[in-house]
Structure 1
């Protein structure tokens, strides 16, 4: 976030973000869309470059749920494939993990090399929590070395807590089996969205980021959940050309 932005401007941005998230929760917004927006808000509000969100499948295996950039998505995926990185350590310990200078750390040699290749010099990770359960981690990636200040860390944790609450909506008294079911439902929705993005990217010869915006725009215009529209496309009930012809994406 720009150092020129005033405290008042930042507080207004934070307020707008939480109001939008609260509204999305109240109306039952699609979880994939909501979490994607949340990672974008994190990247905009905090002194970082981008954000990625990893989610447990209920069996201790993390999957990429959302990211604010393609580079971050690939780096989060790298962590899960290599079983190495700050977000995995954060999930397993339930604690904040901080690596303010990746050139100076030796805990994750393969991850550090990959992160630097993607243009990142620092990373922090905060846990996603549901009461006593840690269900994932929010990774915060910076282009330059440096610690996050206490205010940013508190805000990052608050946003991670909102993401966790979004997964269960208004349910109370969740038991471990029902938490696992919710996590698996969210991940299934994410898989449908990723498949739909791939179809649109291929058919329209566009980037996956542009494909996601086409999908999101169609869902919004037709008052449908993102994952529902993705399912229609994946299962052949909605032709890709219908979404692409109605889009202004080049």
Structure 2
């Protein structure tokens, strides 16, 4: 993946419904791969000759996360950079924006020219709410004009909601994994510091509070992290590395 965008490969296929992939995503945390597969599913389900771009807006930041072709990706990158095109309109208006025929649409001439040069004749942008203020944008490009009948639009809108739900699960799982990693690191540091404090207390016959003060002073004087000083003290006295902390049990699994 480059520049924050994942471009799909022709050999990727999808079996089953969108919801069937959800458990696998939370277990593997392979969000980009998941979005690649879902992009293919959109092509298969909506209309033939359709290319897909999925982007996420979070505050003032827009990130393109998946596409099914370099041509569609280029169109969306240009649209985002210039704050124009159907995806920008869908975001600001909070509704589906349809372009029945690129050649007859005068709302965004720069985007329309680029889309025409890329071989696209129609497009549709569909917003879907994620967690918090974030928003997913599903943009479909077609090689034929008037590709979006009522059935296709209904299917695409449903698909966008399913994709938004799945991506929300991914984002939640990712945040939880980050929290667990920070907690694990904090517990490991605390255990090492406690061991070092025990060594200092035994050597200096002082209280835990005094031992911590000695450790903190050494950290400040050496301009070194407290845990690293603790590790050096333990290894210097025992000749052995600090004992590992108790295993961290992730109760969310």
| TM-score class, shorter | 0.5 to 0.7
Following superposition of structure 1 onto structure 2, how do residues 46-195 of structure 1 map, counting pairs within 5 Å? 46-47=46-47, 48-56=49-57, 58-130=58-130, 133=133, 135-169=135-169
Greater mean deviation of Cα atoms: 75-84 or 129-138: 129-138
- Deviations 1:74-101 (CA, angstroms, capped at 9, x unpaired): 1111111121110111112110000010
Tell me the C-alpha RMSD between the 2 structures: 2.9
- Following superposition, the deviation at residue 14 of structure 1 comes to 9.4
Does residue 39 (structure 1) correspond to residue 51 (structure 2)? The answer is: no
State the structure with bigger RCO (CA 8 A, min sep 6), 1 or 2: 1
Distance 1:81 1:131, change over 3 A: closer
Q: Which has the larger radius of gyration?
A: 2
- Following superposition, the deviation at residue 132 of structure 1 comes to 7.8
Query: For residues 131 and 168 of structure 1, what CA distance do their matches in structure 2 show?
Result: 6
Distance 1:144 1:171, change over 3 A: closer
Query: For residues 26 and 157 of structure 1, what CA distance do their matches in structure 2 show?
Result: 24
1:16 aligned counterpart, secondary structure: coil
Q: TM-score, normalised by structure 2?
A: 0.57
Decide whether the 8 Å contact of 1:94 with 1:134 is kept in 2: no
Structure 1 residue runs of 5 or longer lacking an equivalent are: 1-12, 173-180, 186-250
